[in-house]
């Protein structure tokens, strides 16, 4: 397989080590990311053609050196890595979010140099989201890895999830009930038709993007939001379908979740990034398993464990 090396600019304040620390413990990636000394390796399906590729990054000042394994042009790889890591955002814009909102700024300061860390694509986020229905994060990560080993590809020593074409050839798989496999096949067909293209989804108004995703068989509000927010790596969409985001807000601000959307206005144009940091803080404070109290106060049912999947 061809290996290519190239450099990518890193925005001011960005730390590859901070992103690598996140991915190293990112169970939903199912072993497709690893941290090796000062390097971050990511294996994923490339946008458009779904080729299996591997990118190993190391930082040298304001540059990221990328060793890329696979058959694709540098522009496509750069675009996808930039989306996943937030490399196309000015560092000053991210710093200004914390400066405008001192409460958030105090949380943000606990994760210096961390911008964002998304899934490679809506396809991979959707596949993982469906696998995790009625399952724990850890169980879904193991299942994703087994599916990748059996029907995906290996590149750079890491396993990558099956492409949509490969998944459509899977007729049965241990741990994946037939109805769930049917949902995955629907996602695969949507991906091949271009309906899960990250740039297309990011260009749509969020309401339209979510509505389009929820028209897919078996895709509800949480999975649709997961695919848009974490799969397409949006910058300024509030994941209102994720109860843990609201609990994270309550913890940080000591205010009811009904204030969430109004307070979040100060985080524009990077509200999604702010939510990811708040949820990381929730996990760090040992509150990941806590019931979202404001949901209970408003008489909503407590979410089932398999719904609580936004990683911290």
Q: Phi and psi at residue 193, in whole multiples of 5°?
A: -85, -5
Looking at residue 234, its pLDDT comes to 97
Handedness of CA 156, 170, 136, 270 (dihedral sign): positive
Sign for the CA dihedral angle at 54, 49, 81, 99 comes to: negative
Q: Do residue 69 and residue 131 come from a single domain?
A: no
Question: Do residues 272 and 239 make contact, with C-beta atoms less than 8 angstroms apart?
Answer: yes
Considering the domain boundaries, does residue 115 fall inside one? no
Residue 208, in any domain of the structure: yes
Residue 133's pLDDT is 85
Of 203, 231, 259, the one marking the end of a domain is 231
Same domain (yes/no): 225, 126: yes
Residue 76 lies in a domain: yes
Give how many domains the chain has, as a whole number.
Answer: 2
Distance CA 3, CA 224 (A): 35
State which of 231, 266, 294 marks the end of a domain.
231
127 and 47 assigned to the same domain: no
Host H or E run for residue 7: strand 3-9
CATH number at 154 reads 1.10.340.30
The 3-state DSSP class for residue 89 equals coil
Q: Are residues 157 and 223 in the same domain?
A: yes
CA pseudo-torsion sign 304, 214, 131, 290: negative
> Would residue 295 count as lying in a domain?
no
Per-residue pLDDT of the chain (312 residues; tens, 9 = 90+): 788 999 999 999 999 999 999 998 888 888 899 998 899 999 999 999 999 999 999 999 999 999 999 877 899 999 999 999 999 999 999 999 999 999 999 999 999 999 999 999 999 999 999 998 888 778 889 999 999 999 999 999 999 999 999 999 999 999 999 999 999 999 999 999 999 999 999 999 999 999 999 999 999 998 999 999 999 999 999 998 788 899 999 999 999 999 999 999 999 999 999 999 999 999 999 887 654 444 334 434 333 333 334 333
* Long-range CB pairs of 151-157, under 8 A, 24+ apart, other chains included: 152/52, 153/52, 154/52, 155/1, 155/43, 155/52, 155/53, 155/54, 155/69, 155/70, 156/41, 156/43, 156/54, 156/56, 156/69, 157/54
Residue that finishes a domain, picked among 30, 65, 88: 88
Q: Is residue 95 part of a domain?
A: no
Let me know if residue 226 belongs to a domain: yes
Taking the C-alpha atoms of residue 149 and residue 117, their distance in angstroms, rounded to an integer, is 24
Q: Is the pTM of this model over 0.95?
A: no
Residue 100 lies in a domain: no
Domain limits for position 196:
122-231
Q: Residues 139, 204: one domain? A: yes
Same domain assignment for residues 223 and 140: yes
Residue 145 lies in a domain: yes
Tell me: do 127 and 55 sit in the same domain.
Answer: no
Which domain CATH number covers 83? 3.30.310.20
Contact assessment for residue 279 and residue 245, using Cβ atoms and an 8 Å cutoff: yes
């Amino acid at each position: 397989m061809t290996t290519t090396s190239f450099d990518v600019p890193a925005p001011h304040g960005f730390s590859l080590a901070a992103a690598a620390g996140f991915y190293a413990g990112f169970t939903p990636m199912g072993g497709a990311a690893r941290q090796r000394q000062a390097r971050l390796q990511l294996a994923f399906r490339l946008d458009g053609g779904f080729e299996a590729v591997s990118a190993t990054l190391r930082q040298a000042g304001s540059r990221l050196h990328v060793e890329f394994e696979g058959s694709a042009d540098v522009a496509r790889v750069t675009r996808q890595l930039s989306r996943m890591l937030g490399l196309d955002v000015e560092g000053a814009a991210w710093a200004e979010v914390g400066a405008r909102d001192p409460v958030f700024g105090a949380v943000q300061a606990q994760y210096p140099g961390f911008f964002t860390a998304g899934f490679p694509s809506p396809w991979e986020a959707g596949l993982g989201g469906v696998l995790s229905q009625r399952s724990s994060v850890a169980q879904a990560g193991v299942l994703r890895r087994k599916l990748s080993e059996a029907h995906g590809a290996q590149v750079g020593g890491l396993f990558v999830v099956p492409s949509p074409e490969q998944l459509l050839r899977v007729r049965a798989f241990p741990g994946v009930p037939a109805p769930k496999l049917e949902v995955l096949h629907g996602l695969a067909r949507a991906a091949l038709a271009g309906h899960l293209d990250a740039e297309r989804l990011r260009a749509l108004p969020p309401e339209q993007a979510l509505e389009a995703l929820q028209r897919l068989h078996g895709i509800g509000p949480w999975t649709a939001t997961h695919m848009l927010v974490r799969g397409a790596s949006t910058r300024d969409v509030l994941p209102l379908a994720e109860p843990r985001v609201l609990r994270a807000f309550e913890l940080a601000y000591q205010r009811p979740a009904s204030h969430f959307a109004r307070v979040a206005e100060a985080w524009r144009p990077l509200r999604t990034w702010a939510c990811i940091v708040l949820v990381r803080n929730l996990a760090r404070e040992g509150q990941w398993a806590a019931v979202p109290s404001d949901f209970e106060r408003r008489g909503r049912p407590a979410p089932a464990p398999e719904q609580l999947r936004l990683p911290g």
